[in-house]
Amino acid sequence: MKFSHRLSDAVHVLAFVMIYQGGDLSSGMIAESIEANPSMVRRLMARLSKAGLLVSRAGSVDPKLGRPANEITLLDIYRSIEDNQRFLHIDEKTNPECIVGGNIQATLTEVYDEVQRAAEAKMATVTLADITGDILARHAQR
């Protein structure tokens, strides 16, 4: 199973921009922090910009948050960068002649929808300010 790190990386980008405002905010520096490729960081930044979460201009190394950090939720970030916005996925190829195979998709769809709604509701309560506050608190404890 392949896991997506895009949400984590997008939060990383926004937290980096917020914490290091006034410093080196180049895609290369952010990529060094994430341990990723600068082109991947630029792609994430483009998506965040398109969603209004980041203000960035091509050729400029001065990105800024598009809204105050306490108004950017984890759900906002997730929706801006994930193509498939479903956490859980159902195997669509099951045997319809089997009791389980013929009914599991409908059953799991209901359960997975409930899980999705609960996760999104929680993500809507966590802000970038919460996340960066925790990052800075952990750093201060070192």
Q: Tens digits of per-residue pLDDT, 99-142?
A: 999 999 999 999 999 999 999 999 999 999 999 999 999 999 98
In the chain, the percentage of residues whose pLDDT exceeds 90 is: 81
Q: What is the pTM of this model?
A: 0.88
- Say if residue 68's pLDDT is above 70: yes
Q: Domain holding 90: CATH number?
A: 1.10.10.10
Average pLDDT, the chain: 92
- Say if residue 12's pLDDT is above 70: yes
Asked if the structure places residue 103 within a domain, the reply is yes
Q: What is the pLDDT of residues 15-41, one digit of tens each?
A: 999 999 999 999 999 999 999 999 999
Asked if the structure places residue 16 within a domain, the reply is yes
Domains held by the chain: number? 1
Which residue shows structure tokens 């994930």? 82
Which residues span the domain enclosing 75? Answer: 6-140
Asked if the structure places residue 55 within a domain, the reply is yes
- Six token digits for residue 23: 């410093």
Residue 64: in which H helix or E strand, if any?
Answer: strand 64-65
- Cβ contacts of residue 65 below 8 Å, gap of 6+? 14, 17, 18, 53, 54, 55, 72, 128
In whole angstroms, give the CA distance from residue 9 to residue 128.
Answer: 13
- Cβ contacts of residue 137 below 8 Å, gap of 6+? none
Asked if the structure places residue 101 within a domain, the reply is yes
Asked if the structure places residue 1 within a domain, the reply is no
